[in-house]
Amino acid sequence: MAIGMFNVEKKILLSVDAHEEADFSNTQRDAFHNFIQDVNHIMSHVENEVYEYYKENVHEYRLNC
């Protein structure tokens, strides 16, 4: 699976912590399917929040350089 952020596509590995013999719950399946269906909206929101954080804190990073 690949996720795009700031116009860069990165392959990601899905890792689920469970016992080897455990089956996925319906809640886990539903959450994953909902994420996949809405990934573009989610990532757009993430990008906006990261940028807002940057704008609020950029002066601190520039002062320490």
Sign of the CA dihedral with 12 first, then 13, 18, and 22 last: positive
Rounded Cα distance, 55 and 51, in Å: 6
- pLDDT value at position 5? 92
pLDDT in tens, the chain (65 residues): 899 999 999 999 988 777 888 888 899 899 999 999 999 999 999 999 999 999 999 988 787 76
Q: What is the reported pTM?
A: 0.69
